[in-house]
Amino acid sequence: MTAALHLAYWQTTTIKVLVVMGVIPLGALVLAYVFLLKMMSHMQSRLGPMEAGPHGVLQLLADAGKFLQKEDVFPERADRAVFALAPVVVLMSAFLLYVVIPAGPRLTVSNLDTGVFFALAVSSLSVLGVLMAGWSSANKYSLIGALRAAGQLIAYELPLVLGVVGVVIQAGTMSLQGIVQAQAHGALLGFKTLGEPYILPQALGFVLFIVGAQAELTQTPFDMPLAETELVAGYMVEYTGFRFLFFFMAEFGTAFAFAAIGATLFLGGWYVPGVHGTAADVLGPFVLGAKIMLVSFFIFWFRFTYPRFREDQLQAVAWKYLIPLALVNILVTGLLKVVV
Amino acid sequence: MAELPGLIKGLGVTLRTMLRPAVTVQYPHEKETPPTRSRGVIALKEENCTVCMLCARSCPDWCIYIEGHKDKAPPRREGGKPRTIQLLDRFDIDYGLCMYCGICVEVCPFDALFWSPEYEYSEVSIAELLHDKERLGDWMKTVPEPLALEAGAEVKKGAKN
Amino acid sequence: MAVVTEFQKAAYVAGQAADARVNVEIEAEGMTLNIGPQHPATHGTLRIVVRLDGEQVVWAEPVCGYMHRGYEKLTEVRTYPQVTTLVNRIDWLGSFANEVPFILAAEKLMDVEAPPRAQWIRTALFELGRLANITLFLGDMGVQLGALTPVFYAFRDREHVLNLIEAATGGRFHPNYDRIGGLKEDLPKGWVTEVKSAMSRIRTFCDEMEDLLVGNEIFETRTRGIGLVPAAVGLEYGLSGANIRASGVDWDIRRDEDSPLAWKHCDWKVWTHPDGDCFARYWVRLQEVREATKIVEQLLDGLPSGPIQAKVPRIIKVPAGEAWVHTDNPLGEMGYYVVSKGGLGPFRTKIRTPSFSNISILPWLLRGVYVPDVITILASLYFILGDIDR
């Protein structure tokens, strides 16, 4: 910890937990407002919510208030315990993602040596919650949605992980903090001052990561588990009130976390050229925030433009194109690493 | 020049739209004016009504309720017989039933019914959608002048154009 | 006491049997899934019972009648001028096109013919109704496939067409503008120039859809080769309109049959597509919208002057007789078989609606496809619930 401030372990832990608990709803709110409400509306040549607050900034708070007031409905034949637990599991996986994301040289909950591995592992925890939700709802649509989700998330975990492996090889570490440092100290074509954001050497990895993240987040074109027009809302069909709010928050919280991981892995995370030390700690969160917005812009841009695949086509895309591409990417990166 | 892949072109379309102003009209704050011919609400010119019941009979869903009585009016000429006229007691249109077809306005032989493009008369209670003859008479203020016709239309005798 | 005929008894038994078939929840294997009557993809209340094996449909049966409003029976207790306001509501998106065949049938019975100007304006509004209807389809198909954006563009640009219909007729969705022997009133001044600018907007919309959907690789993988209807099968099931033209059958009532309406004076093309899949149906409709804008423009350029109303008695009584008139409506072939016994209203009306015949192919078409394809096929057949159930 810092030289000036000596806090006990429990104190730092409490602060970290509080910050993470604050960041998730905030991140989810910001993403949902900026992209879901505003960007999507303007892409469809409408204005979106305008009444709650200036330009509708308070709309989501009003929605949250509405959700909290709603009756907590359980379907008659639902498995009550599992049904109640499922949204919590999904939200939990979103929370755990934030543990390893660095927002500055020292601003991180826990700088695990296996940071990337940890993040991708806990992100797939949400599948469990989705399966629980789909099964316990006692609804055929939910069940189909949950099974699709399981199949899809397993298929896309692979290109996601393999796409990231290129970065890990190039940085030589699995720690997210280490990857940021490696990008900061890297040299792109001999220029040392700017560092080396891995989006340039790992462009293919970045594309794979975005596609994989899109599928992990079950966003169009990979939103079959939800598929409003086919499965109504997939595994979420039977949820109302604050349990639905949990799913909603988890969806955007995870999107925020994935954008953060993408920004960290490929855009240099909190690093901005020329800023070091304590200044980087102060500036870091803002820089990271801006980069997150950039990555999420792309994620949501695809979401609002494309139609969705069919389940079997999605599997075909993953196994026939993305995974071989990722393997080639790893091969080339490894060869260059050895040669250079 | 090679064609761009469709995936990229689609992204271009949404991005272009995003940068253009939205088409939304913020309804309670700004309003669109409906065209003059819009069938918004029916206005009643009470003095023209002769209680002939044609409108009530031709209404496809029977949403017009009319009651009237006969009365004597002073003769037109000095020394003539007193005239018999029909006076309107009740003229209600139930907008909860009305299909806005406009047949009543068309069949009225004495020009007592008019369309007005006014549309803001929603009510909390469905019973209040029954407009009585005073309320229908109030709508007369909003009735626009009939529009000039497109070139090539047959000009009716006596119509200004 | 009403006498129950043998036919009615048989119909009742058949109905019970159909109910029993679709009400069986669990059979030997697979899962029975009710798509609808409350389902976002059925835009209305169509219910489709499918039996699934995994995600594959083994057996499917559409169940309609959830929105039956009894228009055929209602026409028997309404006068001829009142019927047009009812039939407006059958296909509520292209409603002007609904009243035209009925009015033509009544005119045929009465042996009057509307003056040319009225026929030209009718045809132009008929095509505007087609535009309002199919524009929405072009966007809606995107929504059914998961792309949210196109439908908002469709709503945005359809608004121009609806405004035009409202400016001329007074009603956005329910124009009620046709009269026996003519029209309610002539067009308002300046309408023709407004139409021209709206038509170019619709063509821009078509280009946008081509960029956003038709050229999109994901859209193509979702629609190419899905829901294949060979021409022979389609004809057997009574498919009509764009659905059968997408199977390569070059048949359009507007061009092939002589009608008092003004299509014969215009230069336009009937588009067909050899494939017969969902993509072909979308593509054919896209071209149809473009052709319709051309037809409207040509009609308004050559609009003859003169009266818009033929001489008809004030109280319309139609002489006894029977007449059948069909036209190529936005959804397909729509026809009215009007039987008159000389009264104020029809004695019997049979309404042939395109959607009802179009969805009758579903049990054949849905066998063996995946659940997402069910939605694609439903969207591409393009039915309007009011048009199925009447």
The reported pLDDT for the residue numbered C23 is 52
Q: Is the Cβ of B80 closer than 8 Å to some Cβ of chain C?
A: no
Chain C residues close to B36, C-beta within 8 Å: 167, 188
**Selected residue with higher pLDDT from C361 and A8:** C361
Residues C146-195 have pLDDT tens digits of 788 888 888 888 888 888 888 888 888 888 888 888 888 888 888 888 88
Chain C residues close to A221, C-beta within 8 Å: 146, 218
Residue B161: pLDDT over 70: no
pLDDT band at A13 (very low <50, low <70, confident <90, very high): confident
Alpha-carbon gap: B26 to the closest alpha carbon of chain A (Å): 8
The Cα–Cα gap between A294 and A267 comes to 10
Strands (DSSP E) contained in C81-204 are: 178-179, 182-183
pLDDT band at A277 (very low <50, low <70, confident <90, very high): low
CB C146 within 8 A of CB A220: yes
Question: CATH assignment of C70-357?
Answer: 1.10.645.10
Chain B residues close to A300, C-beta within 8 Å: none
Residue C33 β-bridge partners: C50
Residues A180-223 have pLDDT tens digits of 777 777 666 555 566 667 776 777 888 888 888 888 777 777 77
Nearest to A115 by CA among A195, A156, A187, A171: A171
The Cα–Cα gap between C327 and C333 comes to 6
Residue B4: pLDDT over 80: no
The reported pLDDT for the residue numbered B45 is 86
pLDDT, average across residues C126-150: 86
Q: Is the Cβ of B15 closer than 8 Å to some Cβ of chain A?
A: yes
C6: Cα separation from own chain's centroid: 34
Contact flag B10-A47 (C-beta cutoff 8 Å): no
Residue A21: pLDDT over 80: no
The region of weakest confidence among A80-89, A269-278, C352-361 is A269-278
Residue B110: pLDDT over 70: yes
Nearest CB to C40 within list A43, A228, A311: A228
Q: Per the structure block, which two tokens stand in for A149?
A: 């989700």
Alpha-carbon gap: A209 to the closest alpha carbon of chain B (Å): 18
Residue of B nearest to C205 (CA): B13
The reported pLDDT for the residue numbered B156 is 60
Residue B75: pLDDT over 60: yes
pLDDT band at A1 (very low <50, low <70, confident <90, very high): very low
Residue A247: pLDDT over 50: yes
Instruction: Kindly report the backbone phi and psi dihedral angles of residue A88, in degrees, each rounded to the nearest multiple of 5, phi listed first.
Output: -65, -40
CB B10 within 8 A of CB C211: yes
Chain C residues close to A141, C-beta within 8 Å: 33
Q: Is the Cβ of C18 closer than 8 Å to some Cβ of chain A?
A: no
Residue B142: helix, strand or coil by DSSP? helix
H helix or E strand, kind and range, residue C60: strand C56-63
- As for the ipTM of the complex, it is 0.78
Nearest to C294 by CA among C212, C176, C387, C202: C202
Chain B residues close to A210, C-beta within 8 Å: none
Alpha-carbon gap: A46 to the closest alpha carbon of chain C (Å): 8
H helix or E strand, kind and range, residue A61: helix A59-69
What is chain C's mean pLDDT, rounded? 83
Counts for chain A of helices (H) and strands (E), in that order? 14, 0
Residues C83-118 have pLDDT tens digits of 888 888 888 888 888 888 888 888 888 888 888 888
Residues C310-357 have pLDDT tens digits of 888 877 788 888 889 888 888 888 889 989 888 788 888 888 888 888
Q: Is the Cβ of B20 closer than 8 Å to some Cβ of chain A?
A: yes
Residue A302: pLDDT over 80: yes
Residue C340 β-bridge partners: C321
Query: At CA B71, angle to CA B70 and CA B74, rounded to 5?
Result: 145
Q: Is the Cβ of A34 closer than 8 Å to some Cβ of chain B?
A: no
The reported pLDDT for the residue numbered C55 is 74
Residues C19-75 have pLDDT tens digits of 665 555 444 467 777 777 777 766 777 888 888 877 788 888 888 888 888 888 888
The Cα–Cα gap between C172 and C194 comes to 16
Residues A29-67 have pLDDT tens digits of 887 788 888 888 888 888 888 888 788 788 888 888 888
The reported pLDDT for the residue numbered C26 is 47
Classify residue C131 by burial, with Cβ atoms within 10 Å: 0-12, 13-18, 19+: buried
The region of weakest confidence among A171-175, C272-276, C305-309 is A171-175
Contact flag B58-C81 (C-beta cutoff 8 Å): yes
The reported pLDDT for the residue numbered C308 is 83
Nearest to A205 by CA among A157, A166, A170: A166
Counts for chain B of helices (H) and strands (E), in that order? 4, 5
CB C194 within 8 A of CB C164: yes
Alpha-carbon gap: A199 to the closest alpha carbon of chain C (Å): 25
The reported pLDDT for the residue numbered A2 is 46
Q: Is the Cβ of B57 closer than 8 Å to some Cβ of chain C?
A: no
- What are the structural domain ranges in chain C? 70-357
Torsion region of C227: left, alpha or beta (phi above 0 gives left; psi -120 to 50 gives alpha): left
Query: At CA A320, angle to CA A316 and CA A322, rounded to 5?
Result: 100
Residue C1: pLDDT over 60: no
Contact flag B26-A45 (C-beta cutoff 8 Å): no
Q: Per the structure block, which two tokens stand in for B62?
A: 């029977």
Using alpha carbons, list the distances in angstroms from residue A47 to A36, A299, B28, C149.
12, 21, 15, 14
- Express as a percent the part of chain A with pLDDT over 70: 89
The reported pLDDT for the residue numbered A187 is 63
Nearest CB to C174 within list B14, B34, B100: B100
